[in-house]
């Protein structure tokens, strides 16, 4: 992230550049009292290619990021409190230690996203459980329009796909119980 300030008569014009993880500028926006949230929302509105965006520790509280393409983005420690990430592409995104409390994750693509230590408390259209009787991993579930999409280790698929896989392999009671619960939600 790069900030440049230009003083005008009464306000400050602020230029913010979003860079990718290689340091290349991928989007720039200038306006009075600009913030990273304003810049990112503008980029999303313009369907900017935000793949590999470097948004480490970014303050994106209440951001409207519907359908954002944040594939492979670095969102480590980003504050996404109450952010609307519906339909967002977060595939392979690094969300370690991200704050996602109350975030809307409906139809978000979290395939291979790193959610280690992410705070997902009260996230909308999200459910998780600990597979304590098998892998001891946290299983992430995101509600999509017609089904739940599940991320369990390297597995990413529908609730039906997960159920088939569990019945073929370990028949875990924890998985099977949570699959039945998700069918009711």
Stretch 20-37: mean pLDDT: 95
Is the pTM above the cut of 0.85?
no
Q: Which domains does the chain have, with CATH numbers?
A: 1-123 (2.160.20), 125-185 (no CATH)
* pLDDT tens digit sequence for 39-95: 999 999 999 999 999 999 999 999 999 999 999 999 999 999 999 999 999 999 999
Residue 175's H or E segment, with its range, is helix 173-184
- Better pLDDT: 11 or 46: 46
Integer Cα distance of 77 and 6 in angstroms: 29
Q: Quick one: tokens of 3? A: 């900030």
Band the pLDDT of 153: cuts 50, 70, 90. Answer: confident
> What percentage of the chain has pLDDT greater than the value 90?
80
Q: Is the pLDDT assigned to residue 171 strictly greater than 80? A: yes
98-116 pLDDT, tens per residue? Answer: 999 999 999 999 999 999 8
- Do the beta carbons of residue 85 and residue 71 sit within 8 Å? no
The reported pLDDT for the residue numbered 172 is 93
In the predicted structure, residue 5 carries a pLDDT above the cut 80: no
At 137 the pLDDT is 87
Cβ neighbour number for residue 31 with a 10 Å cutoff: 14
Specify the pLDDT at position 11. Answer: 66
């Amino acid at each position: 992230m790069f900030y440049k300030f230009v003083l005008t008569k009464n306000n400050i014009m602020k230029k913010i550049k979003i860079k990718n993880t290689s340091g290349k500028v991928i989007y720039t926006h200038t306006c009075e009292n600009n913030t990273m949230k304003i810049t990112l929302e503008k980029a999303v509105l313009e369907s900017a290619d935000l793949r590999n965006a470097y948004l480490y520790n970014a303050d994106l509280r209440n951001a409207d990021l519907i359908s954002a393409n944040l594939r492979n983005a670095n969102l480590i420690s980003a504050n996404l409190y109450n952010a609307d990430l519906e339909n967002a592409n977060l595939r392979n995104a690094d969300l370690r230690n991200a704050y996602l409390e109350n975030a809307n994750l409906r139809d978000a693509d979290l395939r291979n996203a790193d959610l280690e230590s992410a705070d997902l408390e009260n996230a909308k259209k999200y459910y998780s459980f600990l597979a304590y009787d098998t892998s001891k991993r946290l299983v992430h579930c995101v509600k999509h329009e017609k089904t739940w999409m599940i991320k369990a280790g390297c597995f990413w698929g529908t609730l039906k796909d997960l159920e088939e896989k569990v019945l073929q392999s370990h028949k875990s009671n924890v998985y099977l119980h949570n699959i039945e619960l998700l069918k009711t939600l």
